[in-house]
Each structure stands twice: as structure tokens, then as C-alpha cells.
Amino acid sequence: MTDESRQARWESRTEALLAVASLLYLTSYAVQVLASGLPRAWRDVCLAVLCAAWALFAVDYAVRWRLSGQGLRFVRGHWLDTVVLVLPLLRPLRVVHVYEAVQRRHGRPRLTLHARVVTYAGLSALLLGFTGALAVYQHEHAAQGATIRTFGDAVWWTAATLSTVGYGDVAPVTPVGRLVAVGVMLGGLALLGAVTGSFSSWLLQVFAREDEKRPPER
Amino acid sequence: MTDESRQARWESRTEALLAVASLLYLTSYAVQVLASGLPRAWRDVCLAVLCAAWALFAVDYAVRWRLSGQGLRFVRGHWLDTVVLVLPLLRPLRVVHVYEAVQRRHGRPRLTLHARVVTYAGLSALLLGFTGALAVYQHEHAAQGATIRTFGDAVWWTAATLSTVGYGDVAPVTPVGRLVAVGVMLGGLALLGAVTGSFSSWLLQVFAREDEKRPPER
Amino acid sequence: MTDESRQARWESRTEALLAVASLLYLTSYAVQVLASGLPRAWRDVCLAVLCAAWALFAVDYAVRWRLSGQGLRFVRGHWLDTVVLVLPLLRPLRVVHVYEAVQRRHGRPRLTLHARVVTYAGLSALLLGFTGALAVYQHEHAAQGATIRTFGDAVWWTAATLSTVGYGDVAPVTPVGRLVAVGVMLGGLALLGAVTGSFSSWLLQVFAREDEKRPPER
Amino acid sequence: MTDESRQARWESRTEALLAVASLLYLTSYAVQVLASGLPRAWRDVCLAVLCAAWALFAVDYAVRWRLSGQGLRFVRGHWLDTVVLVLPLLRPLRVVHVYEAVQRRHGRPRLTLHARVVTYAGLSALLLGFTGALAVYQHEHAAQGATIRTFGDAVWWTAATLSTVGYGDVAPVTPVGRLVAVGVMLGGLALLGAVTGSFSSWLLQVFAREDEKRPPER
């Protein structure tokens, strides 16, 4: 059996497990951040889930590295996986892929490319926004001179940032909060690029189709 | 007579009526929000118009659902109609379609595709802006610590949001106001995408035409 | 002699005169707004220039309307000219056209389309920014509770608005100032569209050229 | 030996030296701005490096002008070099070119065009952001009524400006700081254009490839 196929088999087998683990990771992180009045026992459960999920991600990364037989080149070639290993909060973004896989498996026709781009961009923005709001809320809500005091403020701030509107009525003040903010800004830039790019290419397609229908007149 | 044609006949017959109803809906909502000093009788008239128009929308939705004979699939396939049924304030956006239909009926040539996109985007932005300003003003002007105190403030805030400038000198503070704001932000993203996409595809068309005219030199 | 050719002759003859008049209009407006300590006599000269230039614009519009022999259709067909007649401050934007005409007359090769778009967008942004800063400064600097107090503030605000950044540290507070601001925001949206669209179509051209050079491999 | 080839030889020989000089320039500028507690001797070293590097740039510009034998046309034809001579802080942006040259020399395949655009835009944004944050910090941190007080504030402000979000919680207040800010805004516009344009053209390429694969069905 070749390395390639063993890698593919590993990935197809662990796909669902890892997707569940990443959603569990996000959920327990959210519970820990938001439910400040939780009894100690539940907090420990959340922490255990966080650690277990992360250990799973690390094992998966190590196995795939091993199976690839590539050495350090693997780290550079799979830089997205490496980033996701260090920042496991971003892992749920991969659920978008799983969603497509599920659709295909059930024999439904795949969405057209435009609808897929819009769906991906929307789902990614939602997930990134929720993650960003959680992280910013965690680091900001107790800081001195903070304007982001409730989770509602954090969500509001995230929406204003992702759409690149940026009112500034609430804004992070701690270094870590601002670092998270830069990540959300990058997501906003990408979202804007996805919306604009989709619209632009959709328009061009419509034009091309209209040109084909009509005889050239001008 | 097939289901398809009965549906089409229903839609062509109710089109004008529904357009008038949706404009009436928006008008009476605007009157109720803005004319706070209105005598009680007039306020009741406005409320009656609001309810009657919404009942009309519900009946239309039900009839079309029935005629389609599709069951729950109809709700998903016509998700835009479903959204508009729940948020009837967004219904006037459909006037843009009626406008085009009127143009066609009178035998005028249809606008070129670029002009149509710009006209649609402009009209939609105006309608969405007016609706958003109304809704934000309604929920904000009496809130504690609000910065949006007059309808002028609400319009100014909407313009800054739709263009994704976002000064933040006035900004919503209530949860409902911020929810409306997220809708206006999405409209701003779409508007930016429409303007940029139109310009980009227009440029590409001009380039293609110039290339055809000139003999290839470089 | 046909109507068409008489119109064309009129336009080519009055082109330079109108360009000078529009620059004089902008200059005397700027002097009146900025030089508050000017002696009365000079202010009267500025006012006279403003009126004379506007009269010239009105005469030109009337003559072209007459020559076209179109009746009310002319107003709709030349809506940009109509807007410029009502808001003569925007007229210098037409200088961009004159600039191109001058270039052609002197036998220099015309700029490539991309360079032209960027040059136009840059010049238009500069002119629109200067005009907007002047108009906002005039209506804001003496208003109660204004944050735009000096012409430097107005220029800074205009730059933040045209780039759709929008800090909001200074922002207009009067109704007229905010109306001007909406115009500047529209200019910012258009500028963003021009920059993005140019880049996008330039990239596509480069790709097409590279594809031609290389033999198809993938 | 023709002028052309002498120019090319000069450029290929001085390339590495100038790249090192420009990085040294940026480094010593950063040290001077950030390390306010540095002993006098070290500050003098930094100043000497700054002057030496700038002298090198001036000599390089003069030699290339001479070799070109073009007179004043050279200044206009190489306006970017002229700008960089006056604002040597922007010179490290040319490192991006060197990076590509190094890649080519070592026999590695060149990046694909899309990856190159994204890499360039990212590196340029990082360098421009660092330079802008330094310059704004230098002119703002001691100004009266300034909100940018630490280098962290300056970096945060730069990120919000480059992504065109613009919170306005911190913003420059001095004329020079605002001038620098306009430069950073222009960089933000260009970055947005690059991200959106890349995405748009990438989408169009994907569509074209999918169209080729499938038989025309619609």
C-alpha cells in the first residue's frame, strides 16, 4: 500500500471524529468563557474536554506528518494545519469542508460554484465572528478601562469589524484583545474580497451569456 | 391547466396589488414611527393598515405555497419570500422588480445590464437605508444613553454604515437597534460589492472592445 | 449644416473657456471660504466671479439644449450636466476630460487604459476631496458643538472619508455638512470601486498574457 | 558597450548592497524612534547610519540618471525612484523585489502569479504598516492631546487603518502625523484592491477551468 493511499485512508477515517472534536472544543471554550458562575466540577469537565480535543489534534497532526514521510517540508506545505494546531479555536472553520462532504455523500447535486463561495464565506464569517467575539470577550471584559464589558458588546464589535465599518464606540484595549482584533480584521478583508469578487465574476458571467444569446449589434 | 401556469397567473395578477400594499406598509410604519404627536385615531388607522397589509402578504404566501403543491420544500426554495414574510419591512425592496416590469410593458428598451445593476443597487440602498433608519430610530431614540436621538441622526448613521465608513459619532446601543444595524452592514457590504464588481467588469469589457479594434501590437 | 455638427462645433469652441471658468469658480469659492479676513472689496470681486462663471454655465447649458432640439429629453439624457449646473462646485471634475484632450492635441500617445483609469480616479479624488473639504469647512467651522474647526480638520476628515476608513474623531454635525458628507462618501465608494476594479482587471490581463506565452501544461 | 547594458550591470551589482542599506536605514530609524533611553553615543551611530544610507541612495540615483543620458525625462520616467529618494523610509518596499530575485537565483520555481500577488501584498502591508507605525509614533507620542501614546497604540492604529476599519479610539492629531496617516490609508486602499482583485480573478479562473472540463449543458 502506498504512502499516499494510507494518508488518504487516515484522513477519511478521522474526518468525522475530528469535526466532532473541534465542535466540542469550541463549545467547551464558549462555556468556560461565558458561564462564569459555573460550579467548579463543570469547569473542570470543560477543561478536560479542551485538553482531550487538543491532544487529538496533535496526534492527528503527528500521524499525518509521519505518514507523509516528508520531514520539515510537511510543516511548510501544511502551514494551514500547523496554524490550526497552534490556534485550535480556528479549527471549526474546517467544518465548512465537512459540510460539503456530507452533501456529496447523500447524492445531492453539489451547489454551483457561486453559491458555494457565498455559503463558505457566510459560514466562515459566522464561525470566525463567534470565535473572535469569545476570545475578545475573555481578554477584555475585566480589563481596566475596557469598553467591551458584555458578550453582547463583543458580538457587536465583531460585526462592525468584519464588515470593515468600525464605529469605535467599543474597541479592545488590551494587547491580547487587539491581537485577536487584527485576526478578525484580516477575516473582514477576506470577507469583503469574497463578496466583491463573487459579485464581479457573477456579473461577468451574466454578460458573457447575454453576449452569446444576442447577435452582435454594436 | 397545469400548476405552473396557475402559479404564474396568480403572481402576475397579484403583483401590482402587493407592490401597493408593501408601499402602504412602509408608509404607515414611517408615519407611526416619526409622527409621535399624531392623534390616537390616526395611529389606529396606521396600525390597521399595517395589519391588513401583513395579512395580505400572509394570504399570498399561503396561496402560492398551496398552488406549488411542494410541502416543506417550498419554504426552503422560497427562503427569500419567507424572510420577507417575517420581516415585511424589507418587502419594498421587491418594488425594484416591479419598476423593471413597468418599463418593459411600456415598450421602452430595457436598460443595459450595467445601468440596471447600478440602478438596482442605488434603489435598494435608498430603500434599505430608509427602512434601516426608521427601525433604528424607533428602537433607539428613547433608549438610555442613546446617541441617535433624532431621525436626522438615524439617517446620518445609516449613510455612514452603508458606505462602510462608520464614524461612530452616533451608534446604536440597544440590542434590537444593533441587530438592525447588522442588517444594514450586510447591505453595505453588498452595495460595495455591487459598485466594485460593476466597475471591474465594465473595465474588462472596455478592454476587450479596445483589443478587438486595434491590431495586436505587443 | 446639421444640428449634430453645430453642437459639436459649439462644444469644441467653448471647451477651454468653460474649463477656465470652472477653475476660476472653484478658486474664488475657496478664497471666499478660507480667507475670512479679506477686505470687503476682494470679497465682492470673488462673488462677482462666482456669479459670472455660473451665468456662463447656464448660458452654455441653454445653448446646447437649444441646439439639440430635444425638449425635456435633453434634461434626462444629460443628467450629469444638469447636476453640474445645479452644483457648479462639481464642475472642475470635468477638467479631467480637458486634460486628456490637451494630451491628444499635442500629439503625445494616449495613456494606456489602466494608467488613464488610475489617473482619472486620482485626480477626481483630489478635486472632490478639496471641494468637499471646502464645503464642509464652510458649513461646520462656526457651528455649535462642531469638531471640524480648522480647514486642516476638514481635509483630514475628507481623507478618512474618501478612503472609507472613517475614524470619527472629527465629523460633521450640521444637516448641510452631513449632506455634503454623503456626497464625499459616494465618492469614496466610487474610488474604492475604481482602485479595486482596475487591480482586478489588470491581474486578469497579466494572467491572460502569461497563459499565451507558456504552453498549456496543467 | 551600450548605455542600456551598463545600466543593467550597475543595477545588478548594486542591488544587494542597496537592499542591505535600506534595511539598515529602517533599523536605525526604528532604534532612534523607539529607544528613547539610548546613550548619546549609540544615537550618533544611528544618525550616521541614516545619513550614510541616504547618501548611498543619492549616489545610486545620480549614477543611474547619468548612465541613462535622459536629462529631466529620467525624473518623470522613474518617479517611483524619485519618491523613494525623498522618502527613504519607503525604500524597504523594494525588498519585495529582491526576495523574488533570490528565489529565482536558487533555482526554485517561481511562485504562481496568485500566490505572488498575495505574498507581495502581505509583505508590503507588513513593511508599510511597520514604517507607518514608526513615523506616526515619532510625531504623535509627545504631542499635546495625543491619543497615540505608546508604540503599541501606533501599531494598533496602523492595523485599523490598513484594513480600512478605522475605529478612531486612537487617531493622529498633529499635521505631520495626519500626513503619514494619509499615506497609510492609500496603502490600505491598495491592499483592499489587491485582496479583492486577486480573489475576483482567481474565481474567474476557477470558473473558466470548470467550464472547460464539463460539456456545455445550459
Band of residue D216 on the pLDDT scale cut at 50, 70, 90: very low
Q: Which three cell numbers stand for residue A84?
A: 490550526
- In 3D, which of D167, A203, D189 has the Cα closest to residue C192? D189
Output the pLDDT for position C119. 79
Question: In Å, how far is A193's CA from the nearest CA of chain C?
Answer: 10
- Convert the pLDDT of each residue in A7-26 to its tens digit: 888 888 888 888 888 889 99
Tell whether the model's pLDDT for residue C216 goes beyond 50: no
In angstroms, rounded to a whole number, what is the distance separating the alpha carbons of residues A123 and D44? 55
Under 8 Å between Cβ of A57 and A21: yes
**Cβ–Cβ pairs < 8 A, chains A and B:** 71
Whether residue B42 lies within 8 A of chain D, CB to CB, comes out as: no
- Convert the pLDDT of each residue in A127-178 to its tens digit: 899 999 999 999 999 999 999 999 999 999 999 999 999 998 999 999 999 9
Contact (CB<8Å) C168/D168 = yes
Output the pLDDT for position B218. 39
Question: In Å, how far is C170's CA from the nearest CA of chain B?
Answer: 8
Q: Which three cell numbers stand for residue C20?
A: 477656465
- In 3D, which of A165, C122, A190, A113 has the Cα closest to residue D198? A190
Of C166, C190, C198, the CB nearest to B160: C166
- Convert the pLDDT of each residue in A89-122 to its tens digit: 887 777 666 666 666 555 555 556 777 777 788 8
Return the half-sphere exposure (C-beta side, CA atoms, 13 A cut-off) of residue C13: 9
- Convert the pLDDT of each residue in D48-68 to its tens digit: 999 999 999 999 988 988 888
Contact (CB<8Å) D168/C164 = no
Residue type at C126? Answer: L
Q: Which chain D residues are Cβ-neighbours of B165 within 8 angstroms?
A: 166
Tell whether the model's pLDDT for residue C110 goes beyond 60: no
| Helix (H), strand (E), coil (C) string for chain C | CCHHHHHHHHHHHHHHHHHHHHHHHHHHHHHHHHCCCCCHHHHHHHHHHHHHHHHHHHHHHHHHHHHHCCCHHHHHHCHHHHHHHHCHHHHHHHHHHHHHHHHHHCCCCCCCHHHHHHHHHHHHHHHHHHHHHHHHHHHHCCCCCCCCCCHHHHHHHHHHHHCCCCCCCCCCCCHHHHHHHHHHHHHHHHHHHHHHHHHHHHHHHHHHHHHHHCCCCC
* pLDDT (average), residues D194-218: 69
Question: In Å, how far is D148's CA from the nearest CA of chain B?
Answer: 18
* pLDDT (average), residues A190-215: 75
- Comparing alpha-carbon positions, the chain B residue that sits nearest to A151 is B175
Output the pLDDT for position C105. 59
Contact (CB<8Å) C203/D204 = no
Q: How far is CA A194 from the centre of its chain?
A: 15
Mean pLDDT rounded to a whole number for chain B: 83
Band of residue D140 on the pLDDT scale cut at 50, 70, 90: very high
Of the given ranges (A29-43, B11-25, C174-188, D79-93), which has the lowest mean pLDDT? Answer: D79-93
Q: Which chain D residues are Cβ-neighbours of A73 within 8 angstroms?
A: none
Packing angle between helix A113-140 and helix A151-162, nearest 10 degrees?
140
In angstroms, rounded to a whole number, what is the distance separating the alpha carbons of residues B183 and C68? 46
Whether residue C163 lies within 8 A of chain B, CB to CB, comes out as: no
The sign one gets for the Cα dihedral B128, B92, B195, C136 is: negative
Of A113, A161, A197, the CB nearest to D165: A161
Output the pLDDT for position B104. 59
Of the given ranges (B89-93, B190-194, C97-101, C136-140), which has the lowest mean pLDDT? Answer: C97-101
Output the pLDDT for position A96. 66
In angstroms, rounded to a whole number, what is the distance separating the alpha carbons of residues D27 and D155? 16
For residue D131, what is the enclosing H or E element?
helix D113-140
Compute how many other C-beta atoms are within 10 angstroms of the C-beta atom of residue B20: 14
Q: Which chain C residues are Cβ-neighbours of B152 within 8 angstroms?
A: 175, 178
Of C160, C169, C200, the CB nearest to D196: C200
Tell whether the model's pLDDT for residue D109 goes beyond 60: no
Band of residue B217 on the pLDDT scale cut at 50, 70, 90: very low
Output the pLDDT for position B94. 72
Whether residue C79 lies within 8 A of chain D, CB to CB, comes out as: no
* Interface residue of C147, C195, C200, C207 to substitute, partner A, most A CBs within 10 Å: C200
Band of residue C52 on the pLDDT scale cut at 50, 70, 90: very high
Compute how many other C-beta atoms are within 10 angstroms of the C-beta atom of residue B187: 23
In angstroms, rounded to a whole number, what is the distance separating the alpha carbons of residues A206 and B113? 9
Mean pLDDT rounded to a whole number for chain D: 83
Tell whether the model's pLDDT for residue A216 goes beyond 90: no
Band of residue A218 on the pLDDT scale cut at 50, 70, 90: very low
CB-count burial class (<10 Å; 0-12, 13-18, 19+) for A24: middle
Q: Give the contacts of A177 (CB within 8 A, at least 6 positions apart).
A: A136, A139, A140, A143, A148
Q: Which chain C residues are Cβ-neighbours of A167 within 8 angstroms?
A: 168
Contact (CB<8Å) A167/C168 = yes
Q: Which chain B residues are Cβ-neighbours of A203 within 8 angstroms?
A: 113, 117, 197-198, 201
Q: Which chain D residues are Cβ-neighbours of C192 within 8 angstroms?
A: 189, 192-193
Band of residue B171 on the pLDDT scale cut at 50, 70, 90: very high
Tell whether the model's pLDDT for residue D17 goes beyond 80: yes
Tell whether the model's pLDDT for residue A217 goes beyond 50: no
Tell whether the model's pLDDT for residue C153 goes beyond 90: yes
Of the given ranges (A28-42, A56-70, A101-115, B15-29), which has the lowest mean pLDDT? Answer: A101-115
In angstroms, rounded to a whole number, what is the distance separating the alpha carbons of residues C213 and C210? 5
Band of residue D165 on the pLDDT scale cut at 50, 70, 90: very high
Tell whether the model's pLDDT for residue B212 goes beyond 70: no
Tell whether the model's pLDDT for residue A198 goes beyond 90: no
* pLDDT (average), residues C134-149: 93
Complex-level ipTM:
0.83
List of long-range contacts for B207-216, beta carbons under 8 Å, 24+ apart: B207/C113, B207/C201, B207/C205, B210/C113
Contact (CB<8Å) A171/D169 = yes
Under 8 Å between Cβ of B159 and B55: no
Whether residue A193 lies within 8 A of chain D, CB to CB, comes out as: yes
Whether residue C167 lies within 8 A of chain B, CB to CB, comes out as: yes
Band of residue D214 on the pLDDT scale cut at 50, 70, 90: low
Of B166, B189, B198, the CB nearest to A166: B166
Phi, psi of D163 (to 5 degrees): -85, 10
- Convert the pLDDT of each residue in B136-167 to its tens digit: 999 999 999 899 999 999 999 999 999 999 99
CA distances from D203 to A117, B114, C216, D207 (A): 9, 20, 19, 6
Compute how many other C-beta atoms are within 10 angstroms of the C-beta atom of residue C186: 15
* Interface residue of A136, A189, A192, A200 to substitute, partner D, most D CBs within 10 Å: A189
- In 3D, which of A209, B117, C14, C103 has the Cα closest to residue C112? C103
- Convert the pLDDT of each residue in B1-56 to its tens digit: 566 678 888 888 888 888 888 889 999 999 988 987 888 888 899 999 999 999 99
| Helix (H), strand (E), coil (C) string for chain B | CCHHHHHHHHHHHHHHHHHHHHHHHHHHHHHHHHCCCCCHHHHHHHHHHHHHHHHHHHHHHHHHHHHHCCCHHHHHHCHHHHHHHHCHHHHHHHHHHHHHHHHHHCCCCCCCHHHHHHHHHHHHHHHHHHHHHHHHHHHHCCCCCCCCCCHHHHHHHHHHHHCCCCCCCCCCCCHHHHHHHHHHHHHHHHHHHHHHHHHHHHHHHHHHHHHHHCCCCC
Output the pLDDT for position C214. 56
* pLDDT (average), residues B101-120: 65
Whether residue D205 lies within 8 A of chain B, CB to CB, comes out as: no
Chains contacting chain B through 3 or more C-beta pairs under 8 A? A, C, D
Q: Which three cell numbers stand for residue D121?
A: 501584498
In angstroms, rounded to a whole number, what is the distance separating the alpha carbons of residues B25 and B134? 13
Output the pLDDT for position C198. 81
> What b/e readout covers A170-180, taking b as 16+ CB neighbours within 10 angstroms?
bbbbbeebbeb
Q: Which three cell numbers stand for residue A44?
A: 473542570
Between B198 and D148, whose confidence is greater?
D148
Output the pLDDT for position A2. 61
Between C96 and D68, whose confidence is greater?
D68
